[in-house]
Structure 1
Amino acid sequence: MATSLDLEEQEQLDQLKHFWRTYGNLITWTITLCLAAYAGWMGWQWWQRDQAAKAGGMFGELDRAVQVGDLGRSAKVFADLQERFPSTTYAAQGALLTARLQFDKGQVDAARGTLGWAAEKGVDAEYRTVAKLRLAGVLMDQKKYDEALAQLAGDLPEAFAALAADRRGDIRLAQGKRDEAIAAYQQAFKAMEPTADYRRLVEAKLVSLGAAPTGGASAVAAASAGGTKP
């Protein structure tokens, strides 16, 4: 009986050795690759957190500089943020903050360049779209109407469709193209929620152009129906 068991165990051992000789290297490499991939993923996660923490610290410094109107300091911190952490949300947010201060301080060309970077390099579509809307306004003020309209062309996130249409209306009106301005404002008006405060501003633009909205409740009427004074 013992001999029978010994032979069976020996056979199983021989089968195991054969299996390992055949597939051992493959198994070893597979395990090694899995461990390497896991280590790489963990390293990437750590690097991402480290980058975000450092970028967040720089953004806080930038925000403080903007709050006190320190144009030189804010521009320097943003330049560092832009160079070291361009793929973070903090870089896009920093661009918007810096551009606003630059514009307020009369450095319109600098603001245009900062917004142009955010519009092209922003980490996600929302930040890029906000930058495009603001850049379109700066270009409109500089009477660069075609460039301004180009910022609003193409596919934009649906949430910004109404604001983009409103900005197109402003540009068309600045060009003296009244009918096209009205069409853009009407598009913006229809796309906004009836109770949105900004919708009343668009309605006021249409009224001033002799094209008060018809065929439905106006923003003012909707607000009144909800108990809000116009």
Structure 2
Amino acid sequence: MATQHLDLEEQEQLAQLKHFWNRWGNLITWALIAVLGAFAAWNGWNFWQQRQAVQAAALYDQMEAATQAGDVERTTRVLADMQASYPGAEYTAQAALLAAKTLVEKEKTAEAKAALAWVAEKAADSGLQATARLRLASLLYADKAYDEALQQLSASFAPPFAPLAADRRGDVLLAQGKKDLAIAEYGKAYQGLSQERAEYRRLVGIKLTALGIDPEAGAAKSGEAK
């Protein structure tokens, strides 16, 4: 009797399990497939990202060799390959900055501007973007394209780059004859530069002094206002 009772319990449990599976089995199966699929996709994405980084790094090595040799044709070719194949890789943005430096040295200013503009628009790293915008603004300033330079400098800059952008804006505004606005920007730069950048801060101070402004007095007033 005990065995028969046990068999009845097992049969009842099996019946309940079948009922449960008939009702929820498909949902559970699809949920498992979704979870496993997402896990596989995540692993695949990571593998793809790592592979992209390795391949971009190899091309970056080629860029370094090309720029060290001063080979403009190879520099532009490697950069075009990286931009086409690995536009989101940090190595590509770094390569564009490196290429721009060499292109400026070889008096290929238009190509250098294009490389810097690409970094300013496409780079994922805000620091690389800021560096590109500052360098591009300097080239535009040298070409007396003042409005374009100010456009690059009107972007949002992270705190470490904000004083540098203010200094550049001061240069551009002064070249446009807007002395008071230039002084205000130089003041922001001077006050924003830390003692770790003492030499740069001193240069900005010289600009203010040349415009009849005591930079230390301005900094003191700013400190009192805070």
Match of 1:205 in 2: 207
Amino acid at match of 1:199: R
Match of 1:149 in 2: 150
More helix, by proportion: 2
Match of 2:38 in 1: 37
What is the rounded CA distance, in whole Å, between the counterparts of 1:164 and 1:19 in structure 2? 66
Q: Deviation of residue 209 (structure 1)? A: 2.1
Amino acid at match of 1:50: R
- Superimposed CA distance per residue, residues 117-160 of structure 1 (whole angstroms, 9 cap, x where no aligned partner): 11111122221111111111111111110010000113222221
Q: Deviation of residue 216 (structure 1)? A: 7.5
Amino acid at match of 1:91: T
Match of 1:83 in 2: 84
Match of 2:70 in 1: 69
Taking a change above 3 Å as real, the CA distance of residues 212 and 195 of structure 1, as seen in their structure-2 partners, is: farther
Match of 2:115 in 1: 114
Counting aligned pairs with the same residue, the percent is 48
- Superimposed CA distance per residue, residues 60-110 of structure 1 (whole angstroms, 9 cap, x where no aligned partner): 110121122111111111111111101111111111111111111111111
Residue ranges of structure 1 left out of the alignment (5+ in a row): 219-230
Root-mean-square deviation (CA, aligned residues, Å) is 1.5
Match of 2:164 in 1: 163
Tell me the matched-pair count: 218
Q: Deviation of residue 208 (structure 1)? A: 2.2
Residue ranges of structure 2 left out of the alignment (5+ in a row): 221-226
Q: Deviation of residue 217 (structure 1)? A: 7.6
TM-score by length of 1: 0.90
Range with greater deviation from structure 2 (204-213 or 18-27)? 204-213
Match of 2:224 in 1: none
- SS for the counterpart of 2:75 is helix
What is the rounded CA distance, in whole Å, between the counterparts of 1:111 and 1:204 in structure 2? 30
- SS for the counterpart of 2:216 is coil
What is the rounded CA distance, in whole Å, between the counterparts of 2:108 and 2:81 in structure 1? 19
Taking a change above 3 Å as real, the CA distance of residues 113 and 183 of structure 1, as seen in their structure-2 partners, is: same
Match of 1:214 in 2: 216
Amino acid at match of 1:162: P
Q: Deviation of residue 26 (structure 1)? A: 0.7
Taking a change above 3 Å as real, the CA distance of residues 110 and 178 of structure 1, as seen in their structure-2 partners, is: same
What is the rounded CA distance, in whole Å, between the counterparts of 1:178 and 1:90 in structure 2? 40
